Amino acid sequence: MQYRGLGSSELKVSEISFGTWAIGGAWGNVNDKESLLALEAAMDKGVNFFDTADVYGDGHSERLLAQATKGREDEIHIATKFCRAGDIHDPATYSEASVRAYCEASLKRLARERIDLYQIHCPPMSILKDGSVFGVLDKLQQEGKIRHYGVSVESVEEGMFCLEQSNVRALQVIYNIFRQKPLELLNEANRRGVGILVRLPLASGLLTGKFTAASTFEADDHRRFNENGESFNVGETFAGLGFAKGVELADRLRWIAEGRGNMTRASLRWLLDHEAVTCVIPGFRNVRQVEDNLAALEVPSFTEAERQRLHKFYQEEVHPFIRGSY
């Protein structure tokens, strides 16, 4: 395992870390026993950073992380997020009283005294421009409730605005082979010493190459109920492409697996080849998925010719079909 600095902070995190949305809920059936075994397997392989949120299974993923990391709080870093348990458009959701309550609730579920990275969970631009939430986070940081704070963003515009906030230490961004526009944001963040957490690196599973046009999803899986943005930003599901188009495009990318084992490993390797990326945070539900994701560390990097081929593919074949804030 290699470790990368989280921007200009003192934190060093595993370049492949993991997100815990899938083990909290909204990705179909979950099994806590398998989830805990997978978390243990990841830590045994050197993973020292996990991303979660208070709304993942109504706090379930936070409680699982507390159980899995008990006694290892100093060596295993946790990032969590807040605001989506309330009305994200209501300024009251970001008041000191509200944010403090969200923070205390997460600390209790995580069984920790301090959150390593506390993130605003995809707030609207109006809230970011208001700016008062950053003052609240400054206060919680000064009190020792949080170590650092950042923002999970949906668009390049939002990310660029957050880079202007002096104490933002990390941005969480959707970035993958299907969603390359944020590269300009990543490069600017790197220049300013702000860390980048890449979420949905496999485009909701499309970039694993395991789906066909006939694949279906369980009723409680967001890939079934949010394909067209019915519940939240459409970009959070299948990179905003829609399932049928995503499968079609993924089939045309099968060549990336040549010499790299499979598309999952190749897709993660492509991300890790970017120096501006602090870490990728794929999801998982079992040990097999953890091990497959970590195998990306052992596969060859992409050549310049391959990178150019993928960028041209994105510009000409993918970008015109992406929907939602970007």
Sheet containing 49-51, strands listed edge to edge, beginning at the edge strand earlier in sequence:
18-19, 49-51, 77-82, 115-121, 146-152, 168-174, 195-199, 279-280
What pLDDT, on a 0 to 100 scale, did the predictor assign at position 26? 57
Mean pLDDT of 29-37: 89
- Tell me: the pLDDT tens digits for 158-190? 999 999 999 999 999 999 999 999 999 999 999
This prediction's pTM: 0.94
Q: List the structure tokens of 266.
A: 């190749």
Kindly give, in sequence order, each residue whose CB lies less than 8 Å from that of residue 90, ignoring residues fewer than 6 positions away: none
What pLDDT, on a 0 to 100 scale, did the predictor assign at position 28? 62
Residue 37 and residue 45: Cα distance in Å, rounded?
12
Tokens 């890939």 belong to which residue?
223
For residue 290, pLDDT over 60 is answered with yes
- Tell me: the pLDDT tens digits for 211-267? 999 999 988 888 988 888 888 889 889 999 999 999 999 999 999 999 999 999 999
Indicate the DSSP class of residue 176. Answer: B
Q: How far is CA 224 from the centre of its chain?
A: 20
Mean pLDDT of 136-144: 98
What pLDDT, on a 0 to 100 scale, did the predictor assign at position 231? 87
Contact predicate 112/66, CB 8 Å: yes
